[in-house]
């Protein structure tokens, strides 16, 4: 099936292009950003060789809905979505940290805990927990934003000490992070889900306003459990039923890959790619509560370019 792995656009007023692990971001004149969600799949900060059909559309449409649902809490960068895989909005200066917030001992936190660590990003984790237990209250465990390679855990104190973010701004980021996580938790509960952990990214506009940027509450940036049966599975020591990209990470781990030096990405067959695509569609429908409408996969790059040009011409 056709997937979008990269673009080769030259847009009107284009000043530069940034290629991230999954997204391609074009800066245009008048502080306008065009963000394209590709079908690339990233795990352990490594981009997989094959794309996942509809993944870009799924991430972009979930993020769009969630930005709309939280704009009363924090202003965001988004202005328009002229294509299922495209978001357009105002350019900001990004803060060089990801605000990771965890309600449960899962994923990276659980791996650190199993290794005997009880302090994560300067935040204490209680003794006696087992994987996927709920924290007494959500903890914020920030990470530095790496241009290449792995993001790194960092404490609040180090962020401020190193001048990465001022204490005044960081306090705002913390407050926004907790409020967004609370909203996301309630929204997930309405869909029969548990928002386990997630990350938020913020930027500052030219006038000094702090705004929410990038995706939020998507399966790439968040981990979800099914609420039904959570307590029973936890008491029985069983694996939780998840809605997140964790199933890809677990498959990679089982096949000897964790993004470590010297490791090779295992082969992903077309059959496996199809199952990943189906899981992402399942994620979309569960998280949003609406059926997924597949975009036309014929000539994806041309479709996206034309929709962007049409929007810019009418703007």
Domains defined along the chain, listed by start: 14-92+258-314 (3.30.200.20), 94-244 (3.30.470.20)
The predicted-structure confidence for 26-75, as pLDDT tens digits, reads as follows 999 999 999 999 999 998 889 999 999 999 999 999 999 999 999 999 99
The predicted-structure confidence for 219-256, as pLDDT tens digits, reads as follows 888 999 999 999 999 999 999 988 778 789 889 999 99
Q: What pLDDT score was predicted for residue 45?
A: 84
Which residues are within 8 A (CB) of 183 and not within 5 positions of it... i.e. 6 or more apart? Answer: 69, 70, 73
Label residue 259 exposed, middle or buried (CB < 10 Å: 0-12, 13-18, 19+).
middle
pLDDT band at 147; cut points 50, 70, 90: low
- Measured in residues, the chain has a length of 315
The C-alpha atoms of residue 79 and residue 239 are separated, in whole angstroms, by 40
Phi-psi region of 240 (alpha: psi -120 to 50; beta: other; left: phi over 0): beta
């Amino acid at each position: 099936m056709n997937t979008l792995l990269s673009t080769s656009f030259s847009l009107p007023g284009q000043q530069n292009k940034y290629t991230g692990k999954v997204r391609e971001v074009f800066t245009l004149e008048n502080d306008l950003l065009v963000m394209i969600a590709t079908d690339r799949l990233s795990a352990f900060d490594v981009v997989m060789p094959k794309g996942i059909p509809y993944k870009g559309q799924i991430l972009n449409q979930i993020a769009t809905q969630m930005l709309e649902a939280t704009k009363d809490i924090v202003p965001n960068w988004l202005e328009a979505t002229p294509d299922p895989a495209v978001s357009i909005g105002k350019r900001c200066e990004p803060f060089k940290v990801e605000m990771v917030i965890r309600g449960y001992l899962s994923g990276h936190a659980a791996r650190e805990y199993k290794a005997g660590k009880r302090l994560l990003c300067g935040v204490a984790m209680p003794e006696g927990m087992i994987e996927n237990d709920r924290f007494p209250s959500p903890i914020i465990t920030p990470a530095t934003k790496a241009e290449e390679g792995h993001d790194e855990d960092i404490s609040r104190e180090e962020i401020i000490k190193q001048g990465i973010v001022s204490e005044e701004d960081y306090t705002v980021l913390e407050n926004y992070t907790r409020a967004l996580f609370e909203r996301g938790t309630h929204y997930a509960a309405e869909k029969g889900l548990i928002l386990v952990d997630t990350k938020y990214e913020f930027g500052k506009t030219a006038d000094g306003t702090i705004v929410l940027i990038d995706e939020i509450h998507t399966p790439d940036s968040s981990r979800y459990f099914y609420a039904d049966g959570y307590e029973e599975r936890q008491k029985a020591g069983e694996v939780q039923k998840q809605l997140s990209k964790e199933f890809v990470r677990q498959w990679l781990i089982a096949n000897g890959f964790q993004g470590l030096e010297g490791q090779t990405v295992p082969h992903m067959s077309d059959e496996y790619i199809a199952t990943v695509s189906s899981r992402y569609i399942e994620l979309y429908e569960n998280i949003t509560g609406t059926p997924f409408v597949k975009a036309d996969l014929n000539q994806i790059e041309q479709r996206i370019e034309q929709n962007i040009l049409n929007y810019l011409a009418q703007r």
